[in-house]
Amino acid sequence: MLIVDRLSKVYDAHGRRVEALADITFSVAEGEFACVVGPSGCGKTTLLRCLAGLLSPTSGTATVHGKLAVVFQEYGRSLFPWLRVRDNVGLPLKDLSKRERQAKVEGALEAVGLTDAAGAYPWQLSGGMQQRVAIARAIAYGPRVLLMDEPFAAVDAQTRADLEDLIRDVWHRLGVTLLFITHDIDESVYLGQRVIVLSSAPSRVAENIKIDLPDERDQLTTRGDARFVELRARIYAHIQKAKRGSTS
């Protein structure tokens, strides 16, 4: 699980002080799928980097319990171009024996449907497939917590729909705690058990909504569901308010 307590992050860039995160507090329970949405520039990526240990907070804490893995938005740049897919997926597993590593890699590639691509180089694959490799790498690592930073923002809509269903499937199978950052409101409601809405920078948690949709989600029916539309509208209104109210 992960706990964020009064997290704040201030950047000092060229003499200007930029307060990205003012006071963020929320927690995600063990095995829960939570989405974070907010207007552009509200510091979603900063929040993720603090959780991932890539940035240190100015004050407050961002704690993750257990091993964590990250899937970045720039899938093209997060895979090592000199390694084949299977070696990319197996890279974090260098402490394991060769056989163990191979087994985990094969399992992970199967989970994302890329068994045939094991011997290819990342740049030989499409964008969607590259992101699947990144997801497979996270799966093989066996984390308790998975952080995803707008992972499907840079793929086309069709591929995005497939990847959304894939990640819910992976989440079900592994039982990881998943924090999913996105700017796409529909996606956040479709995917999450809970949606955390951030205000504009300096951001706070504007809303922490439980998504009480059934666990079985489907691209066609769920998105037309009345409750889905209601939740979506509520979040949309919050974000509009957050955008307008940022200066008040």
Partner 1 sequence: MSATLKRVGIWLGLPVALVTVWWFASAGSTDFFRPSLQRIVQAFRETWLGPRFVEEVLPSLARLAVGYVLAVILGVVIGVAIGLSVRTRALTEPVLEFLRAIPPPILVPVIMLFAGIENTMKVIVIVFGCIWPILLNTVEGVRATDEVLTDTCQVYGVKPLRHLVLQSASPQIMTGARQALAIGIILMVISEMVAANNGLGFTIVQFQRGFQIPEMWSGVLLLGLIGVALAGLFHLAERRVLVWYHGSRDADRR
Give the residue with the Cβ less far from partner 1, 60 or 76.
Answer: 76
Measured distance CA(21)–CA(167) in Å, rounded: 28
What single letter denotes the amino acid at residue 38? G
Binding segment (CB under 8 A) for partner 1, from list 3-11, 64-72, 193-201, 207-215: 64-72
174 part of the interface to partner 1, by CB under 8 A: no
Q: How many CA atoms lie within 13 A of 57 on its CB side?
A: 19
Q: Of 209, 195, 203, which is closest to residue 36 (Cα–Cα)?
A: 195
94 part of the interface to partner 1, by CB under 8 A: yes
Total residues interacting with partner 1, rule: CB under 8 A:
22
Give the residue with the Cβ less far from partner 1, 82 or 226.
Answer: 82
Measured distance CA(12)–CA(73) in Å, rounded: 25
Binding segment (CB under 8 A) for partner 1, from list 12-20, 24-32, 81-89, 187-195: 81-89
> For partner 1, which residue of 65, 77, 173, 244 counts as binding (CB under 8 A)?
77
Q: How far is the CB of 143 from partner 1 (least distance, A)?
A: 9
127 part of the interface to partner 1, by CB under 8 A: no
Binding segment (CB under 8 A) for partner 1, from list 72-80, 105-113, 196-204, 239-247: 72-80
Would you tell me how many other CB atoms lie within 10 Å of the CB of residue 181? 24
131 part of the interface to partner 1, by CB under 8 A: no
Measured distance CA(16)–CA(19) in Å, rounded: 10
Q: Are 203 and 42 in contact (CB under 8 A)?
A: yes
> For partner 1, which residue of 61, 63, 124, 208 counts as binding (CB under 8 A)?
124
Q: How many CA atoms lie within 13 A of 77 on its CB side?
A: 5
Measured distance CA(92)–CA(211) in Å, rounded: 34
85 part of the interface to partner 1, by CB under 8 A: no
Binding segment (CB under 8 A) for partner 1, from list 63-71, 109-117, 159-167, 189-197: 63-71
148 part of the interface to partner 1, by CB under 8 A: no
Q: Of 216, 199, 217, which is closest to residue 208 (Cα–Cα)?
A: 199
Which distant-in-sequence residues (6+ apart) come within 8 Å of 17 by Cβ?
A: 10, 11
Beta bridge partners of 68: 145
Q: How far is the CB of 182 from partner 1 (least distance, A)?
A: 18
Q: How far is the CB of 144 from partner 1 (least distance, A)?
A: 14
Measured distance CA(63)–CA(73) in Å, rounded: 22
> For partner 1, which residue of 41, 53, 66, 175 counts as binding (CB under 8 A)?
53
- Which spans of this chain sit near partner 1 (rule: CB under 8 A)? 52-54, 68-70, 72, 74, 77-78, 80-83, 91-92, 94, 121, 123-124, 137, 141
